[in-house]
Amino acid sequence: MSQALYRKYRSKSLADVVGQDHITDILSRALKSDRIAHAYLLTGPRGVGKTSIARILAHEINGLPYSDDTTHLDIIEIDAASNNGVEDVRALREKVQVAPTSAAKKVYIIDEVHMLTKPAFNALLKTLEEPPAHVVFILATTDVEKIPATIVSRTQRFGFRAISPVDAVKHLRHIAHEENIKVDDDALQLIAERGDGSFRDSISLLDQLSSLADEKQGITVELIEISLGLAPTNIVNELLTSVEKHDVTAIAKLLDQTAASGISATTVTDQLIHTLRNYAVEKPQLLPLLDALLDVSKSSQPSMKLLSVLGTYAMQTKPPKTAALAAPVLEITATIEELSKQATKKHPHIEPPTETMAEPVNIVAEVEAAAKPLESGAVGNETFNWPALIAEARKSNIALYSVLNKCSHELNDGELTIYTINNFYKKKLDDPKYSSHLYNSLKAIGSFQLTVHTIPTRAPLQNSQAASIADIMGGGVEVSLE
């Protein structure tokens, strides 16, 4: 049976260790000067070389050659996950008193030491504080936060780093060359990314894929995506592009496409997170989206949560085109000349009215005209019918109908702006519970191509002179005399 690649290419000396120079350099100097500590603590993520360095260090302390298959009576490995009780540690305390069989030091490697119980830690504490001169402890853990401070303070601590993508790709390429594995650079990059900073996981994935790859094509990005159930890279990029373009319809279609292919929402989310992490410097405006995506995996319905996060972010990041006036209707009857004199005092740039304009005008009519929703609108080949949307909302969701019925709208270049009068109604329409029904209603009337955004004010006044007058009087809306 062939040996697993991660075991075959495990480091055999401190010089072979990749990506942890800040640790191996210090240990090498300490060994050369014979400055050996009585206890070491190796901390860091999984698969970065903690156990390998612990074994190498144990052998080099004793001047012994090391290979993965060697064993020595004076180098004892203990798995704390299965030997975590106080009785296990008490037995250990008795054994450490026995001198080494043939080596200079008796070295105890305790892996996943954070799994020890509290009584076991208390039993170990005294031995760590005053160990026999012939004993060295090497503790390793992926969760240093669970280790009592009293234990940590009695060790020399070394923090391991996650392997950088550059180091991972370089090492994977070396292994692929040695094993005659055909793999392109993009595939190596994706393997390193899926390894998530772990050499062991990355090498294991390379090993797995090598047995699945076609002899001619070798390991490709497509093979990795199919094998791991990943969304194609172009789909992930299209999702982010759709978010930036505020295209909620495209987002929904792409997510439906991935779901139909059997790709889970948590997997897509994970890929989006990795991609956004790489865009952090280039596109810092997407960092709030990255933060929101971190909550998707915690949801009981991740697919709905992902749609909500992407759709809401796409809608919220769309800037309003105008700043509208929010004010009550003005019931005023006066001549334009009378009101314009007041406007000229406050806004000298306004031209005074001509004599032909000096007939009485009902400002209510002028103001309400602009705020009255267009009965229908056409942009390019799209036709939109506001009353039809209201009617559809009434059939499908009475709560949505109640809100929309109080709003006005504006249609321009395929963009539907809904003026919600106030923040309360805006929050309602932005809520996924409402927005999903809104888009279903738009789809039902054949206007699903529209991009929707909401503004928490009344519609802006269209008549500039009426707008200036309304400004003087404290606001207003346009009405029609017809």
Instruction: Give residues with Cβ within 8 angstroms of 37, minimum separation 6.
Output: 30, 136, 155, 156
Question: Which two tokens mark 135?
Answer: 């004993």
Q: What is the mean pLDDT of residues 297-312?
A: 89
CA torsion 316-319-322-324 (nearest 10°) is 30
Can you give the pLDDT at residue 29?
A: 93
Cα gap 371→462, rounded to integer Å: 8
Q: Are 373 and 409 in contact (CB under 8 A)?
A: yes
**Which residue range(s) make up the domain with 249?**
233-316
Say which residue, 274 or 472, is predicted with more confidence.
274
Can you give the pLDDT at residue 371?
A: 42
Q: What is the mean pLDDT of residues 297-310?
A: 89
pLDDT band at 4 (very low <50, low <70, confident <90, very high): confident
Q: Are residues 180 and 260 in the same domain?
A: no
Residue with tokens 């919220």: 316
Instruction: Measure CA 301 to chain center.
Output: 17
Say which residue, 174 or 461, is predicted with more confidence.
174
Q: Are residues 204 and 267 in the same domain?
A: no
Q: Are 396 and 441 in contact (CB under 8 A)?
A: yes
Q: Are residues 277 and 222 in the same domain?
A: no
Can you give the pLDDT at residue 378?
A: 47
The type of residue at 186 is D
User: Which CATH number goes with the domain that contains 252?
Assistant: 1.20.272
Cα gap 12→474, rounded to integer Å: 81
User: Which CATH number goes with the domain that contains 94?
Assistant: 3.40.50.300
Cα gap 431→359, rounded to integer Å: 48
Of the residues 259, 293, 316, which one is the last residue of a structural domain?
A: 316
pLDDT band at 330 (very low <50, low <70, confident <90, very high): very low
Say which residue, 74 or 378, is predicted with more confidence.
74
User: Which CATH number goes with the domain that contains 181?
Assistant: 1.10.8.60
Q: Are residues 119 and 198 in the same domain?
A: no
Question: Which two tokens mark 324?
Answer: 């509208």
Query: What percentage of the chain carries pLDDT values higher than 90?
Result: 23
Cα gap 356→342, rounded to integer Å: 18
Say which residue, 60 or 414, is predicted with more confidence.
60
SS3 379: strand
Of the residues 126, 159, 192, which one is the last residue of a structural domain?
A: 159
Say how many C-beta atoms besides its own lie within 10 A of residue 145's C-beta: 7
Can you give the pLDDT at residue 331?
A: 42
- What is the number of domains present in the chain? 4
Cα gap 30→400, rounded to integer Å: 71
pLDDT at 220 over 80: yes
Within 245-286, residue ranges assigned H as helices are 248-260, 265-278
Q: Are residues 215 and 242 in the same domain?
A: no
The type of residue at 164 is S
Query: What percentage of the chain carries pLDDT values higher than 70?
Result: 81
Q: Are residues 326 and 456 in the same domain?
A: yes
Residue with tokens 């402890």: 137
Give tens-digit pLDDT for 223-264.
Answer: 888 888 899 989 999 999 999 888 999 999 999 999 998 899
Give tens-digit pLDDT for 338-357.
Answer: 545 555 554 555 455 444 44
pLDDT at 174 over 50: yes
Q: Which letter does DSSP use for residue 352 in this model?
A: P
Give tens-digit pLDDT for 428-475.
Answer: 888 877 888 888 888 888 887 778 888 888 877 665 555 555 555 445
pTM beyond 0.85: no
Q: Are residues 146 and 19 in the same domain?
A: yes
Q: Are 268 and 303 in contact (CB under 8 A)?
A: no
